[in-house]
Structure 1
Protein backbone atom coordinates (compact mmCIF):
# COMPACT_ATOMS: atom_id res chain seq x y z
CA UNK A 1 0.00 0.00 0.00
CA UNK A 2 1.26 3.46 -0.81
CA UNK A 3 0.58 6.61 1.16
CA UNK A 4 -1.11 8.20 -1.85
CA UNK A 5 -3.80 5.58 -1.45
CA UNK A 6 -4.79 7.03 1.92
CA UNK A 7 -6.87 10.12 2.51
CA UNK A 8 -7.63 11.18 6.04
CA UNK A 9 -11.27 11.63 6.88
CA UNK A 10 -13.18 12.38 10.05
CA UNK A 11 -14.04 9.29 12.06
CA UNK A 12 -17.67 8.20 12.03
CA UNK A 13 -19.74 5.14 12.95
CA UNK A 14 -19.17 3.59 9.52
CA UNK A 15 -15.42 3.20 9.99
CA UNK A 16 -14.53 -0.32 11.04
CA UNK A 17 -12.13 -0.10 13.97
CA UNK A 18 -12.81 -3.50 15.56
CA UNK A 19 -9.68 -5.10 14.11
CA UNK A 20 -7.31 -2.16 14.42
CA UNK A 21 -4.03 -3.38 15.95
CA UNK A 22 -1.15 -0.97 16.36
CA UNK A 23 0.69 -3.16 18.86
CA UNK A 24 -0.25 -0.63 21.56
CA UNK A 25 -3.39 -1.98 23.27
CA UNK A 26 -4.04 1.37 24.98
CA UNK A 27 -4.24 3.15 21.60
CA UNK A 28 -6.29 0.37 20.02
CA UNK A 29 -8.85 0.29 22.83
CA UNK A 30 -9.11 4.08 22.93
CA UNK A 31 -10.03 4.11 19.24
CA UNK A 32 -12.66 1.39 19.68
CA UNK A 33 -14.18 2.60 22.96
CA UNK A 34 -13.68 6.36 23.24
CA UNK A 35 -12.99 8.03 19.90
CA UNK A 36 -16.62 8.40 18.84
CA UNK A 37 -17.61 9.74 22.28
CA UNK A 38 -14.79 12.26 22.08
CA UNK A 39 -16.15 13.28 18.67
CA UNK A 40 -19.71 13.69 19.90
CA UNK A 41 -18.61 15.74 22.91
CA UNK A 42 -16.34 17.86 20.69
CA UNK A 43 -13.38 17.36 23.01
CA UNK A 44 -11.21 15.91 20.25
CA UNK A 45 -11.35 15.25 16.53
CA UNK A 46 -10.20 11.91 15.17
CA UNK A 47 -9.15 11.40 11.58
CA UNK A 48 -8.58 8.00 10.03
CA UNK A 49 -7.02 6.29 7.06
CA UNK A 50 -9.02 3.29 5.96
CA UNK A 51 -8.50 0.37 3.59
CA UNK A 52 -11.10 -2.18 2.57
CA UNK A 53 -13.61 -0.67 5.00
CA UNK A 54 -11.41 -0.83 8.07
CA UNK A 55 -9.31 1.73 9.93
CA UNK A 56 -5.58 1.29 9.34
CA UNK A 57 -4.32 4.53 10.93
CA UNK A 58 -5.65 7.37 13.01
CA UNK A 59 -4.80 10.50 14.90
CA UNK A 60 -6.72 12.69 17.31
CA UNK A 61 -6.22 16.41 17.82
CA UNK A 62 -7.67 18.71 20.48
CA UNK A 63 -7.39 22.23 21.78
CA UNK A 64 -4.88 22.54 24.60
CA UNK A 65 -3.46 25.08 27.00
CA UNK A 66 0.14 25.17 28.19
CA UNK A 67 1.36 27.00 31.27
CA UNK A 68 4.50 29.02 30.62
CA UNK A 69 6.00 27.96 33.95
CA UNK A 70 5.78 24.29 32.94
CA UNK A 71 8.05 24.86 29.94
CA UNK A 72 11.81 25.15 29.71
CA UNK A 73 12.82 28.81 29.71
CA UNK A 74 13.94 28.58 26.06
CA UNK A 75 10.39 27.68 25.00
CA UNK A 76 8.38 29.67 27.53
CA UNK A 77 10.23 32.99 27.38
CA UNK A 78 8.20 35.79 25.83
CA UNK A 79 4.90 33.91 26.00
CA UNK A 80 1.83 34.76 28.08
CA UNK A 81 1.22 32.80 31.30
CA UNK A 82 -1.29 30.60 29.44
CA UNK A 83 -0.22 29.57 25.94
CA UNK A 84 -2.73 28.28 23.39
CA UNK A 85 -1.69 25.02 21.77
CA UNK A 86 -3.01 22.00 19.90
CA UNK A 87 -2.60 18.56 21.42
CA UNK A 88 -1.82 15.69 19.09
CA UNK A 89 -3.49 13.34 21.53
CA UNK A 90 -3.27 10.04 19.65
CA UNK A 91 -1.42 8.77 16.58
CA UNK A 92 -1.26 5.12 15.56
CA UNK A 93 -0.68 2.89 12.55
CA UNK A 94 -1.98 -0.64 12.20
CA UNK A 95 0.79 -3.27 12.30
CA UNK A 96 0.09 -4.03 8.62
CA UNK A 97 1.44 -0.56 7.71
CA UNK A 98 4.34 -0.28 10.14
CA UNK A 99 7.90 -0.27 8.84
CA UNK A 100 6.97 1.36 5.52
CA UNK A 101 7.66 5.00 6.41
CA UNK A 102 3.96 5.73 6.70
CA UNK A 103 4.15 6.91 10.32
CA UNK A 104 5.95 10.05 9.22
CA UNK A 105 3.33 10.63 6.54
CA UNK A 106 0.53 10.19 9.08
CA UNK A 107 2.27 12.67 11.38
CA UNK A 108 2.68 15.11 8.47
CA UNK A 109 -1.05 14.73 7.72
CA UNK A 110 -1.88 15.59 11.35
CA UNK A 111 0.55 18.52 11.48
CA UNK A 112 -0.77 19.85 8.17
CA UNK A 113 -4.33 19.74 9.48
CA UNK A 114 -3.26 21.55 12.67
CA UNK A 115 -1.38 24.23 10.72
CA UNK A 116 -4.43 24.77 8.51
CA UNK A 117 -6.68 25.12 11.57
CA UNK A 118 -4.35 27.70 13.09
CA UNK A 119 -4.89 29.97 10.13
CA UNK A 120 -8.25 30.65 11.82
CA UNK A 121 -7.70 29.86 15.52
CA UNK A 122 -4.41 30.86 17.13
CA UNK A 123 -2.07 28.35 18.76
CA UNK A 124 1.63 28.65 19.53
CA UNK A 125 2.67 24.99 19.84
CA UNK A 126 1.78 21.46 18.82
CA UNK A 127 2.01 19.24 21.92
CA UNK A 128 2.55 15.48 22.10
CA UNK A 129 2.50 13.40 25.27
CA UNK A 130 4.32 10.34 23.92
CA UNK A 131 3.18 6.92 25.08
CA UNK A 132 6.73 5.52 25.38
CA UNK A 133 10.40 6.13 24.56
CA UNK A 134 9.97 4.83 21.00
CA UNK A 135 7.28 7.45 20.41
CA UNK A 136 9.54 10.12 21.94
CA UNK A 137 12.32 9.17 19.49
CA UNK A 138 9.84 9.21 16.59
CA UNK A 139 8.68 12.74 17.43
CA UNK A 140 12.24 14.01 17.90
CA UNK A 141 13.09 12.60 14.46
CA UNK A 142 10.37 14.87 13.05
CA UNK A 143 11.52 18.04 14.77
CA UNK A 144 9.71 18.02 18.11
CA UNK A 145 11.58 19.19 21.21
CA UNK A 146 11.34 17.10 24.36
CA UNK A 147 10.52 18.84 27.62
CA UNK A 148 13.28 17.58 29.97
CA UNK A 149 12.44 14.67 32.28
CA UNK A 150 9.06 14.06 30.58
CA UNK A 151 7.54 12.33 27.56
CA UNK A 152 6.05 15.68 26.50
CA UNK A 153 7.23 17.11 23.21
CA UNK A 154 6.57 20.45 21.55
CA UNK A 155 6.88 21.96 18.13
CA UNK A 156 6.45 25.66 17.51
CA UNK A 157 3.59 26.30 15.13
CA UNK A 158 5.86 28.55 13.03
CA UNK A 159 8.28 25.62 12.54
CA UNK A 160 5.41 23.28 11.64
CA UNK A 161 4.04 25.79 9.13
CA UNK A 162 7.49 26.23 7.57
CA UNK A 163 7.86 22.45 7.15
CA UNK A 164 4.42 22.16 5.55
CA UNK A 165 5.13 24.92 3.05
CA UNK A 166 8.29 23.16 1.76
Structure 2
Protein backbone atom coordinates (compact mmCIF):
# COMPACT_ATOMS: atom_id res chain seq x y z
CA UNK A 1 0.00 0.00 0.00
CA UNK A 2 3.02 2.27 0.28
CA UNK A 3 3.01 2.98 -3.47
CA UNK A 4 -0.63 4.10 -3.51
CA UNK A 5 -1.04 7.75 -4.52
CA UNK A 6 -4.44 9.13 -5.45
CA UNK A 7 -3.26 12.74 -5.28
CA UNK A 8 -4.86 13.38 -1.87
CA UNK A 9 -2.48 12.98 1.06
CA UNK A 10 -5.31 12.38 3.54
CA UNK A 11 -6.79 9.51 1.48
CA UNK A 12 -3.34 8.00 0.89
CA UNK A 13 -2.50 8.21 4.58
CA UNK A 14 -5.85 6.72 5.67
CA UNK A 15 -5.28 3.66 3.48
CA UNK A 16 -1.75 3.17 4.78
CA UNK A 17 -2.36 3.91 8.46
CA UNK A 18 -6.04 3.37 9.32
CA UNK A 19 -7.77 1.02 6.86
CA UNK A 20 -6.60 -2.25 8.41
CA UNK A 21 -7.18 -1.11 12.00
CA UNK A 22 -10.66 0.15 11.11
CA UNK A 23 -11.42 -3.13 9.35
CA UNK A 24 -10.32 -5.15 12.39
CA UNK A 25 -12.28 -2.99 14.82
CA UNK A 26 -15.43 -3.06 12.70
CA UNK A 27 -15.46 0.71 12.17
CA UNK A 28 -15.35 0.41 8.38
CA UNK A 29 -15.37 -2.23 5.70
CA UNK A 30 -12.84 -1.54 2.96
CA UNK A 31 -12.76 -3.08 -0.50
CA UNK A 32 -9.57 -2.73 -2.54
CA UNK A 33 -8.84 -3.11 -6.24
CA UNK A 34 -5.40 -4.55 -6.97
CA UNK A 35 -3.38 -5.04 -10.14
CA UNK A 36 -1.75 -8.31 -11.22
CA UNK A 37 1.20 -7.57 -8.91
CA UNK A 38 -1.17 -7.14 -5.93
CA UNK A 39 -0.53 -3.39 -5.74
CA UNK A 40 -3.58 -1.47 -4.49
CA UNK A 41 -4.98 0.73 -7.24
CA UNK A 42 -8.24 1.86 -5.64
CA UNK A 43 -10.36 1.44 -2.55
CA UNK A 44 -13.75 2.22 -1.07
CA UNK A 45 -14.66 2.17 2.62
CA UNK A 46 -18.18 1.95 4.04
CA UNK A 47 -19.49 2.47 7.57
CA UNK A 48 -22.82 2.73 9.32
CA UNK A 49 -24.04 6.10 10.43
CA UNK A 50 -26.91 8.51 10.80
CA UNK A 51 -27.75 11.94 9.52
CA UNK A 52 -29.97 14.57 11.14
CA UNK A 53 -33.36 15.19 9.57
CA UNK A 54 -32.53 18.91 9.42
CA UNK A 55 -29.42 18.19 7.33
CA UNK A 56 -31.36 16.13 4.76
CA UNK A 57 -33.17 17.21 1.59
CA UNK A 58 -36.97 16.85 1.62
CA UNK A 59 -37.22 13.60 -0.31
CA UNK A 60 -34.53 11.99 1.85
CA UNK A 61 -36.08 12.93 5.19
CA UNK A 62 -39.75 12.33 4.36
CA UNK A 63 -41.34 10.02 6.99
CA UNK A 64 -37.96 9.22 8.55
CA UNK A 65 -36.93 9.16 12.22
CA UNK A 66 -34.38 11.62 13.55
CA UNK A 67 -31.57 10.76 13.05
CA UNK A 68 -31.97 8.91 9.75
CA UNK A 69 -30.07 5.60 9.45
CA UNK A 70 -27.58 5.59 6.56
CA UNK A 71 -24.51 3.93 5.16
CA UNK A 72 -21.56 6.32 5.09
CA UNK A 73 -19.31 6.19 2.06
CA UNK A 74 -16.32 6.97 4.25
CA UNK A 75 -13.58 6.93 1.59
CA UNK A 76 -13.24 6.34 -2.15
CA UNK A 77 -9.90 6.81 -3.89
CA UNK A 78 -8.23 5.75 -7.13
CA UNK A 79 -4.46 5.71 -7.72
CA UNK A 80 -3.29 8.42 -10.14
CA UNK A 81 -1.84 5.80 -12.48
CA UNK A 82 -5.31 4.41 -13.25
CA UNK A 83 -7.55 7.47 -12.86
CA UNK A 84 -9.95 8.12 -15.72
CA UNK A 85 -10.52 4.42 -16.46
CA UNK A 86 -13.93 4.10 -14.78
CA UNK A 87 -12.63 2.48 -11.60
CA UNK A 88 -14.30 5.03 -9.31
CA UNK A 89 -17.67 4.39 -10.98
CA UNK A 90 -17.14 0.64 -10.72
CA UNK A 91 -16.25 0.90 -7.02
CA UNK A 92 -19.27 3.10 -6.41
CA UNK A 93 -21.49 0.53 -8.17
CA UNK A 94 -19.99 -2.17 -5.96
CA UNK A 95 -20.70 -0.03 -2.89
CA UNK A 96 -24.29 0.46 -4.10
CA UNK A 97 -24.73 -3.32 -4.34
CA UNK A 98 -23.33 -3.78 -0.83
CA UNK A 99 -25.69 -1.13 0.54
CA UNK A 100 -28.69 -2.78 -1.10
CA UNK A 101 -27.70 -6.14 0.40
CA UNK A 102 -27.23 -4.51 3.80
CA UNK A 103 -30.66 -2.88 3.56
CA UNK A 104 -32.25 -6.34 3.45
CA UNK A 105 -30.94 -6.98 6.97
CA UNK A 106 -31.02 -3.56 8.68
CA UNK A 107 -32.86 -0.30 8.20
CA UNK A 108 -31.04 2.09 5.86
CA UNK A 109 -32.48 5.14 4.11
CA UNK A 110 -29.57 5.67 1.76
CA UNK A 111 -25.92 6.62 1.38
CA UNK A 112 -24.17 9.76 2.59
CA UNK A 113 -20.75 11.06 1.69
CA UNK A 114 -18.82 14.09 2.92
CA UNK A 115 -17.27 15.44 -0.28
CA UNK A 116 -14.78 18.05 0.86
CA UNK A 117 -12.97 18.44 -2.49
CA UNK A 118 -14.74 20.20 -5.35
CA UNK A 119 -13.88 17.41 -7.82
CA UNK A 120 -15.33 14.79 -5.47
CA UNK A 121 -18.49 16.84 -4.99
CA UNK A 122 -18.91 17.17 -8.76
CA UNK A 123 -18.42 13.40 -9.21
CA UNK A 124 -21.02 12.47 -6.58
CA UNK A 125 -23.55 15.04 -7.81
CA UNK A 126 -23.13 13.61 -11.31
CA UNK A 127 -23.79 10.15 -9.83
CA UNK A 128 -27.17 11.31 -8.50
CA UNK A 129 -26.41 12.46 -4.96
CA UNK A 130 -28.25 15.51 -3.58
CA UNK A 131 -26.76 18.27 -1.43
CA UNK A 132 -27.73 18.79 2.17
CA UNK A 133 -29.63 22.05 2.65
CA UNK A 134 -27.36 22.92 5.60
CA UNK A 135 -23.96 21.66 4.37
CA UNK A 136 -23.02 21.65 0.67
CA UNK A 137 -20.26 19.08 1.28
CA UNK A 138 -22.76 16.56 2.72
CA UNK A 139 -24.26 14.60 -0.16
CA UNK A 140 -27.08 12.05 0.11
CA UNK A 141 -28.60 9.38 -2.12
CA UNK A 142 -31.85 7.56 -1.28
CA UNK A 143 -31.92 3.77 -1.37
CA UNK A 144 -34.54 3.83 -4.14
CA UNK A 145 -32.16 5.96 -6.23
CA UNK A 146 -29.31 3.54 -5.48
CA UNK A 147 -31.43 0.68 -6.86
CA UNK A 148 -32.43 2.74 -9.92
CA UNK A 149 -28.79 3.65 -10.63
CA UNK A 150 -27.76 -0.01 -10.52
CA UNK A 151 -30.66 -0.98 -12.76
CA UNK A 152 -29.73 1.71 -15.29
CA UNK A 153 -26.07 0.67 -15.33
CA UNK A 154 -27.04 -2.96 -15.96
CA UNK A 155 -28.80 -2.03 -19.21
Does 1:25 find its partner at 2:9? yes
- Alignment-derived partner of residue 107 in structure 1: 92
The CA distance in 1 between the partners of 2:85 and 2:25, in whole Å, is 34
Instruction: Map 1:120-131; keep pairs closer than 5 Å.
Output: 120-131=105-116
Check the 8 A contact 2:51/2:70 in 1, yes or no: yes
The match for 1:151 among 127, 137, 150 is 137
Give me the CA root mean square deviation: 1.3
Q: 1:165 aligns with which of 148, 151, 154?
A: 151
Q: Tell me by how many angstroms 1:126 deviates.
A: 0.2
CA contact (8 A) 1:115 1:157 kept: yes
Note the residue ranges of structure 1 that are not aligned, 5 or more in a row.
1-16
Distance 1:119 1:156 in 2: 15
Aligned-residue offset at 1:125? 1.4
| CA distance in structure 1 between the partners assigned to 2:102 and 2:81 by the alignment | 30
The residue aligned with 2:46 is 61
- Over 6 Å off, 4+ runs: none
TM-score normalised according to structure 2 size: 0.90
Question: Any idea what the Cα deviations from partners look like across 1:94-116, whole Å, max 9, x if unmatched?
Answer: 01111222221121111121112
User: Does the Cα contact within 8 Å between 2:60 and 2:109 map onto a contact in 1?
Assistant: no
TM-aligned CA deviation for residue 163 of structure 1: 2.0
Partner of 2:55: 70
List runs of 5+ in structure 2 lacking aligned partners: none
Pick the aligned partner of 2:121 from 136, 142, 149: 136
Residues of 2 paired with 1:46 and 1:75: CA distance?
A: 26
Which of the residues 22, 35, 43 maps onto 2:19?
A: 35
How far does the alpha carbon of each residue in 1:7-54 deviate from its partner, in whole angstroms, 9 at most, with x for none?
xxxxxxxxxx11100001100000000011101110111110011111
TM-score, structure 1 normalization = 0.85
